[in-house]
Amino acid sequence: MSDFQQATAKLQQWIEQQLKQGISKQQLYFYLLKRDFAQSMIDLLLDGYQPVANTAAIEQLPEILSPEQSAVFNEASHYFSFANIRLTTEQKRFQLPVSDVQIFKVPQVVEAKLCEQLIIRSRRFFSPSEVVGQKYAVQDSGRSSTTALVRDIAADVEKKLQRSFGALLGIDPRFCEPLQIQCYQPGQAYQNHADWFDKAHPGYKESIGSQGQRTWTCLVYLNEDFEGGETLFTNIKQQIKPATGSACIWNNLQVNGEVNSETYHQGLPVKKGTKYILTAWFRAKPL
């Protein structure tokens, strides 16, 4: 049993004891809320209970977890909340039928007109795409696209899109990295990779920085008038065909916060035409 499972079991047992002793769910709700438990975790522990009032006597309740257990539980609770964001309930009809990865293909995330404008306005800003390396970001033969930062094109549009993506997923837009647009010409591709940062990689510490690990990826297809260029998740055998304005969205982590190796994917080679995508990566902590 993991440290998280042990802390959870102990807390659930304690909650049952408090309920038997006459402590109300309302008191327990605010006890957990005051101690910064994720809303989704409180829902789990209290079977979805929602209080009818805004206050409850909570100071009389003793601390049940040791400081060490609290640290473990709160960290795990943080990642549990990322696995239960708004997208996972409100957009469930768009979730792909795979068990190992939370992955969605959502239509009409960005309006077609805005997609076209982003393509046109980004063309003079492209430079060779980079990957994390010994010097933090380096060019690599496995990624042959070019990249432009949306903030260089139109900072106001970037903020608008970050708010829109945050609302769709249910994540504060402050957790979102600067948005990027990638351009793939015929023959260009992105070989098999994962979006999460690998501890074994030379650039890991620089990549993590103060924002922590990448959680969710929102990949928006800005056009569809090309051949090839599908997104292939190699381990789970799922292939996403681009459609203008649609987004492929997935959780890079497991429920406990560990990286999910099943999220390896590649951008297949473009056969004809030019492919444009916009990528938003969300982190574990705000910028």
3-state secondary structure of 100: coil
pLDDT at 278: 99
Beta bridge pairs of residue 214: 283
- At residue 137 the predicted structure's pLDDT band, cuts being 50, 70 and 90, is very low
Do residues 74 and 7 make contact, with C-beta atoms less than 8 angstroms apart?
no
For residue 211, give the DSSP letter: T
Is the pLDDT confidence value at 28 over 90? no
- At residue 138 the predicted structure's pLDDT band, cuts being 50, 70 and 90, is very low
Of 33-37, 82-86, 136-140, 278-282, the poorest mean pLDDT is in 136-140
Q: Which residues does 209 contact at the CB level (< 8 Å), separation at least 6?
A: none
Structure tokens at 71: 């640290």
* C-alpha span between 266 and 52 (Å, rounded): 48
Is the pLDDT confidence value at 61 over 60? no
Name the residue type at position 182. Answer: Q
Give CA separation, 199 vs 204, 258, 265, in Å. Answer: 6, 11, 19
Helix segments in the chain, DSSP class H? 3-20, 25-34, 39-45, 67-82, 87-90, 112-122, 150-153, 155-169, 204-208
Helix segments in 62-199, DSSP class H? 67-82, 87-90, 112-122, 150-153, 155-169
Each residue's pLDDT tens digit, 99-115:
999 999 999 999 999 99
What's the mean per-residue pLDDT of the chain?
A: 87
Q: State the pTM of this model.
A: 0.78
φ/ψ (deg, to 5) at 238: -115, 130
* C-alpha span between 219 and 69 (Å, rounded): 36
Q: Which of 74, 91, 29, 68 is nearest to 249 (CA)?
A: 91
17 or 228, which is more confident: 228
Q: What is the distance of C-alpha 280 from the center of its chain?
A: 9
- At residue 6 the predicted structure's pLDDT band, cuts being 50, 70 and 90, is low
Each residue's pLDDT tens digit, 228-247:
999 999 999 999 999 999 99
Each residue's pLDDT tens digit, 144-193:
789 999 999 999 999 999 999 999 999 999 999 999 999 999 999 999 99
* C-alpha span between 177 and 273 (Å, rounded): 28
